[in-house]
Amino acid sequence: MIQAPTITVHVPGALRPYCEGEAQLSASAATVRGVLDDLERRRPSLYCNICDETGAVRRHLSVFINSDNVRDLHGLDTPLAPGDVVSILTAVSGG
């Protein structure tokens, strides 16, 4: 059996109250969806603020693997490699 790689998850400041203030979390998952599933089990308050009731990432958030937006890759099914960093970024707007 192949073990899922260990991934670092960067949490933006706005979401840190939902994970005891931690800026980084670790997860073992083969895909971005697996990371979110792990967060749903271990950090349900954080997960609810990242994903909606359908399991989709909320519109005002973006998920990156290293420096690539998952929307430009394979979405939530994007595979992960050991040492990858998943960053959750909040939208910035203004004018």
Per-residue model confidence as pLDDT tens for the chain (95 residues): 567 778 999 999 999 999 999 999 999 999 999 999 999 999 999 999 999 999 999 999 999 999 999 999 999 999 999 999 999 999 876 65
Q: In the numeric block, which tokens belong to residue 60?
A: 């005002």
Kindly tell me the sign of the dihedral angle through the C-alpha atoms of 24, 28, 30, 33: negative
Which candidate, 74, 50, 48, 46, places its Cα nearest to that of 60?
A: 50
DSSP 3-state of 86: strand
Q: What is the pTM of this model?
A: 0.89
